[in-house]
Amino acid sequence: MKQISSRTLLIGLSLVALMAATRMHHFGSPLHLPDASLAVFLLAGFFIASPLFFAGLLVEAGALDYVAITHLGVSDYCVTPAYWFLIPTYAVLWYAGRFLARSHQYSLRRLGMFAGISFVAVSAAFVISNGAFYLFSGRFPELSIAEYTGRMAQYYLPYLTGAVVYLVPAALLYALTSRPAGAAESAAH
């Protein structure tokens, strides 16, 4: 059995705690941070290769939603047959993190790659979760393409921003704490 490093354990526990602390408020408010789940799944893919950890995060997300709905008064409006599409939504993010981890190097170009792939992954996650909700929730049987486009436009920026709020500081923290000795010279070349 492979030994888990203390760094990996700390990162894993931090990601679990971050999702637990923020999952109740999807877009945030003046009193609450936005939901970190999107960033958590992408960062988990980057830092922790275990599919079991991915599965554990899925279970945590479902358990947090259950507690929020049954004990904290959060609306169950989004819990429909489309809820199951959160699995491929989060899988896109986790696999994007895995891809980034495999192609990782210390350079400004790679930071741009992180930003670009994160943007594409979060956008794809939005299309999956949002599209599934409008197609399979049963709440919009007569929704036209124009209405759907308007609704997508309304929620896309907050969805993207919610992930960026966590991904930018995480990338900066990683860059500041993980740069190996001698990487400054190689990054300049």
Other Cβ atoms within 10 Å of 59 Cβ, number: 9
| Mean local confidence (pLDDT), 56-84 | 91
Domain boundaries, the chain: 6-177
Q: Which of 89, 163, 95, 97 is nearest to 126 (CA)?
A: 89
Report d(CA 149, CA 2) in Å as an integer. 47
Q: What is the pLDDT of residue 25?
A: 63
Reported confidence tier of residue 125, pLDDT bands at 50, 70, 90:
very high
- What's the pTM value of the predicted model, to 2 decimals? 0.88
Buried-state track 9-47, b at ≥16 Cβ within 10 A, e below 16? eebbeebbebbbebbbebebeeeeebbbbbbbbbbbbbb
> Per residue in 72-99, pLDDT tens?
888 888 889 999 999 999 999 999 999 9
- Is 95 or 113 the better-scoring residue by pLDDT? 95
Encoded tokens for 89:
């939504």
H/E element holding 3? none
Widest Cα–Cα separation across the chain: 60
Report d(CA 166, CA 171) in Å as an integer. 9
Q: What is the pLDDT of residue 185?
A: 44
